[in-house]
Amino acid sequence: ELKIDKMFVMQLTSSNRDPLIVRSTIDLAHALDMEVTAEGVETPSALALLSVMGCDMVQGYLISRPIGFDAFHKFLDDDAHKGAVGGPPTSFFKPESFWKRA
């Protein structure tokens, strides 16, 4: 797994250089058969851009503030996470079979 630091993610929509760095990093990681996680995703526009760039997973306050294990388990059980980011599920949501790998 390769993680993209929030410093680059926070400037995606306001910088000319950071989107190029992020896109190149995602492409390189995928060429090396690595999954990419972007940290610090706080805006729908950053999420949309990362999705278009092919980012595999995201972390950040747009998705959820840090929560404990019990709260996370309840969050998943309540189905509150489905569409919680303000739209239909995106490619960041993995199918149930993904989480059941041995």
Q: pLDDT, tens digit, for every residue of 66-92?
A: 888 888 888 778 765 565 555 544 455
Contact 44, 62 (CB under 8 A): yes
pLDDT one-digit tens code per residue, 45-54: 999 999 999 9
- Extents of the domains making up the chain: 2-87
Q: What confidence tier does 102 reach under pLDDT thresholds 50, 70, 90?
A: very low
CA–CA separation, 20 vs 11, rounded Å?
11
Strand partners, 4: 38
Could you give the CA distance from residue 75 to residue 37 in angstroms, rounded to a whole number? 21
Question: What's this model's pTM, rounded to 2 decimal places?
Answer: 0.69
CA distance 23 to 38: 11
- H helices of the chain, where? 6-9, 18-31, 44-53, 69-77, 96-99
Model pLDDT, residue 31: 97
pLDDT above 90 as % of the chain = 56
Confidence check: pLDDT of 12 > 60: yes
Q: Could you tell me what percent of the chain has a pLDDT over 70?
A: 76
Average pLDDT of the chain, as a whole number: 83
Residue 66's H or E segment, with its range, is none
Contact indicator for 55, 23 with CB cutoff of 8 Å = no
